[in-house]
Amino acid sequence: MNYEFYLFYLLSSFAVISAIMVICLSNAVHSVLFLITVFCNVTAILILLGAEFLAFLLLIVYVGAIAILFLFVVMMLNVKITSGKLNIWALFVLSILLFFTLVGQFFMSINLNFEYGGDTSHIIYSWTNWFEKNTTFTNTEAIGSVLYTNYSFVFLMGGFLLLIAMIGTIVLTMHQRSDVNKQIVTVQLSRSSSNAIRFVQLRH
């Protein structure tokens, strides 16, 4: 084992520890800072593995845009740290259920031994021999070729889900304040001098 393996395990350990700190800390600002640390460690791992395009894409998009935006939003908002006691066991059980659900979905997605009793002769398998393309394709060209041909529908669905998340965030943050005195413009414009001005007789 050379130094690359030790560096890989070191960066992976830092990434896992930082990810755990993101969900364990009660301060939102500290959580965002550890999230940036996770992205930086994953970027270093991708550079170590030779995927420099994905590394710089992760660094520019997530660290340079999204994480910094999260940090500014959290620092500008009045985020209150809850001091009440939380039901730790309920959260632990929910975390375990979500963990096993994600692990099960992962193993189901990589299980290729599907049993199918019908006729599969009409199915045309399209695949690309990336060993032949390795000498001519760069990382950017290979990712673009796979993303916009074989996974174009999944790519569009991912963009649609992000659009729904953005609209939902905007709807959740738009709340009407009831403690603010607002003026109704239509009522003000409908008033005239006969119903707006009163003459009061003063007593001497």
pLDDT digits (tens, 9 = 90+) for 40-55: 899 999 888 888 888 8
pLDDT (0 to 100) of residue 59: 83
Over range 111-136, report the average pLDDT. Answer: 56
pTM (two decimals): 0.51
pLDDT at residue 41, as a whole number: 92
Q: Average per-residue pLDDT in the chain?
A: 75
Is the pLDDT at 72 greater than 80? The verdict is: no
Contact (Cβ atoms closer than 8 angstroms) between residue 33 and residue 60:
no
Of the ranges 57-66, 73-82, 178-187, which one carries the lowest mean pLDDT score? 73-82
Assign residue 56 a region: left if phi > 0, alpha if psi is -120 to 50, beta otherwise? alpha
Strongest mean pLDDT among 14-18, 107-111, 146-150: 14-18
Count CB-CB contacts under 10 A for residue 124: 5
**Could you give the residue ranges of the DSSP H alpha helices within the chain?**
3-24, 28-49, 52-58, 68-76, 88-110, 130-133, 139-145, 152-173, 185-190, 193-196
Nearest CA-CA partner of 34 in 11, 54, 14, 64: 14
The answer, yes or no, to whether residue 30 has pLDDT greater than 70, is yes
Q: Quote the DSSP letter at residue 121.
A: T
Say if residue 166's pLDDT is above 80.
Answer: no
C-alpha–C-alpha distance, residues 162 and 111, integer Å:
28
Assigned CATH for 1-79: 1.20.120.1200
CA atoms within 13 A on the CB side of 146: 11
Confidence of residue 116 (pLDDT cuts 50, 70, 90): very low
